[in-house]
């Protein structure tokens, strides 16, 4: 064996067979050149596509920020985006491919309670961290949870509760729900009803429609006949746009306040000022908070620079935070091993874009504020200035369901 060959590799005879042993320095060099891969399954097509595309744009900012600041041990991060088509089976398939074929280190994503749970099941079984950026109560419950499950987004109990606590005392106690017939809608209704119990709120009807419905005209006469004080639109994406437009055209607003658990920035932009005039709701983030929150201004400026002056949406901000949290935990853990990164995430205290946040240890729910906004059509500074911020409910664990209630044996 020549000297040069010996420097490159060492051949051992073991049981009559030749085995190649790679020296430690070569393994280290290879590891340092290998990107940290983050799988990002979101519904790029379908009813939630506008929100998903904004999630991608914002997540890419977190990736660039990490890489520009040196990465981790010389390793840069890479975002692998996949279209889950808003379908649980497709989401599971794409996630499995990301893990087994693309060898991702972590998964961040989802924009539906249904796809969220299927993605989580695949990641949980393979001990890969999944940081979800869509709303769900179920993902925090013990039956769907694992040490590798994290929830960056608000959950329906927290969101609907905050909106209900604000709206019910101000606008009335007789309520009708127009509900998308899947987990997100059902969980939002439950959150409102629980918030309204102590206030004497009465549910007149919970009217359910299929996800992706285009025509709501069959429901509107019944809603009007019930004469509710409040109509709650428990739906999302294009469903929220279509139902808000049609309820406005039908004249529901004349005697009824319309609210939404999540008042989407993207929905308001798509639906327009007239359709959403006076509609009130909750959000995890609104770019207009930048006047009072320095982290919001910093995030907005990065997004504007990368996207031709546009501002980020609420779900875009979640894409940014979901990826940034995982990458920060990699640095804290000094590792990309899922268990070590999970431990670091559990200990993380952060303020990426909206104020202080942390993950509750029993269920890895991000404890955070809820912003109450109302759509406006007057006194708009520009086309992005669509909401008035009415209130911010502070980040407090007491607003969440208890750990015991969700089946976790150890409360925190």
pLDDT at 31: 56
| Burial (CB count within 10 angstroms: exposed 0-12, middle 13-18, buried 19+), residue 146 | middle
Q: Please indicate, yes or no, whether the overall pTM of this predicted structure exceeds 0.75.
A: yes
Ramachandran area for residue 380 (φ above 0: left; ψ -120 to 50: alpha; else beta): beta
d(CA 127, CA 142): 16
pLDDT at 2: 40
DSSP string, 324-338: HHHHHHHHHHTS--H
pLDDT at 12: 36
d(CA 359, CA 155): 13
State both tokens at 159: 């969101």
Residues contacting 144, CB < 8 A, separation 6+: 117, 120, 121, 124, 138
Query: Could you report the per-residue pLDDT of 369-381, keeping only the tens digit for each?
Result: 999 999 999 999 9
Residues contacting 178, CB < 8 A, separation 6+: 207, 209, 216, 219, 223, 231, 232, 233, 234, 235, 243, 247
| Radius of gyration of the chain, Cα coordinates, nearest whole angstrom | 23
Distance of CA 285 to the CA centre of its chain: 11
pLDDT at 32: 64
H helices then E strands: how many in the chain?
14, 17
pLDDT under 50: residue ranges of the chain: 1-20, 25-27, 29-30, 411-412
d(CA 38, CA 55): 14
d(CA 350, CA 412): 19
* Beta strands 36-42 and 17-21, pairing class: unpaired
d(CA 285, CA 236): 16
Query: Could you report the per-residue pLDDT of 198-255, keeping only the tens digit for each?
Result: 999 999 999 999 999 999 999 999 999 999 999 999 999 999 999 999 999 999 999 9
Question: What CA–CA distances, in Å, run from 44 to 49, 52, 126, 305, 314?
Answer: 5, 6, 25, 23, 16
Distance of CA 74 to the CA centre of its chain: 29
Residues contacting 317, CB < 8 A, separation 6+: 58, 284, 285, 299, 353, 354
**Residue 147, φ and ψ in degrees, nearest 5:** -60, -15
**Inter-helix orientation angle 113-125/183-197, to 10°:** 110
Strand order in the sheet with 366-367: 349-350, 357-359, 366-367
State both tokens at 108: 């961040």
Taking alpha carbons only, the member of 303, 306, 347, 302 closest to residue 325 is 347
Query: Could you report the per-residue pLDDT of 7-56, keeping only the tens digit for each?
Result: 343 333 334 444 445 555 444 544 568 999 999 999 999 889 999 999 99
């Amino acid at each position: 064996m020549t000297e040069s060959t010996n420097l490159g590799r060492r051949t051992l005879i073991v049981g009559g067979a030749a085995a190649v042993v790679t020296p430690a320095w070569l393994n280290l060099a290879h590891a340092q050149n290998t990107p940290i891969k983050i799988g990002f399954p979101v519904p790029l097509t379908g009813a939630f596509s506008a929100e998903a595309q904004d999630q991608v744009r914002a997540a890419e900012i977190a990736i660039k920020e990490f890489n520009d600041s040196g990465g981790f041990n010389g390793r840069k991060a890479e975002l692998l985006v996949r279209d889950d088509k808003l379908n649980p089976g497709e989401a599971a398939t794409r996630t499995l491919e990301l893990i087994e074929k693309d060898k991702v280190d972590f998964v961040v994503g989802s924009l539906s309670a249904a796809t969220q749970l299927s993605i989580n099941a695949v990641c949980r079984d393979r001990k890969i961290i999944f940081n979800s950026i869509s709303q769900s109560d179920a993902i925090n419950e013990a039956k769907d949870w694992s040490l590798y499950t994290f929830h960056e987004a608000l959950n329906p109990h927290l969101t609907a509760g905050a909106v209900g606590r604000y709206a019910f005392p101000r606008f009335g106690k007789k309520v009708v729900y127009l509900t998308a017939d899947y987990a997100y809608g059902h969980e939002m209704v439950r959150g409102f009803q629980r918030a309204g119990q102590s206030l004497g709120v009465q549910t007149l009807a919970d009217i359910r429609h299929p996800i992706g419905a285009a025509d709501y005209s069959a429901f509107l006469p019944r809603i009007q006949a019930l004469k509710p004080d409040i109509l709650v639109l428990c739906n999302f994406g294009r469903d929220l746009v279509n139902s808000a437009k049609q309820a406005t055209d039908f004249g529901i607003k004349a005697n009824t306040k319309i609210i939404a658990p999540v008042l989407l920035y993207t929905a308001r932009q798509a639906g327009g000022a007239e359709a959403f005039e006076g509609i009130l709701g909750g959000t995890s983030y609104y770019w207009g908070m930048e006047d009072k929150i320095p982290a919001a201004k910093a995030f907005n400026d990065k997004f504007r620079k990368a996207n031709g002056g546009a501002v980020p949406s609420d779900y875009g901000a979640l894409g940014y935070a979901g990826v940034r949290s995982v990458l920060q935990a990699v640095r804290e853990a000094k590792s990309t091993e899922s268990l070590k990164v999970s431990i670091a995430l559990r200990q993380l205290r952060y303020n990426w874009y909206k104020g202080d946040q942390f993950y509750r240890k029993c269920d890895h729910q991000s404890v955070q504020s809820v912003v109450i906004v109302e759509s406006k059509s007057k006194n708009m500074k520009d086309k992005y200035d669509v909401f008035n911020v009415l209130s911010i409910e502070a980040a407090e664990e007491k607003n969440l369901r208890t750990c015991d209630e969700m089946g976790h044996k150890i409360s925190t």
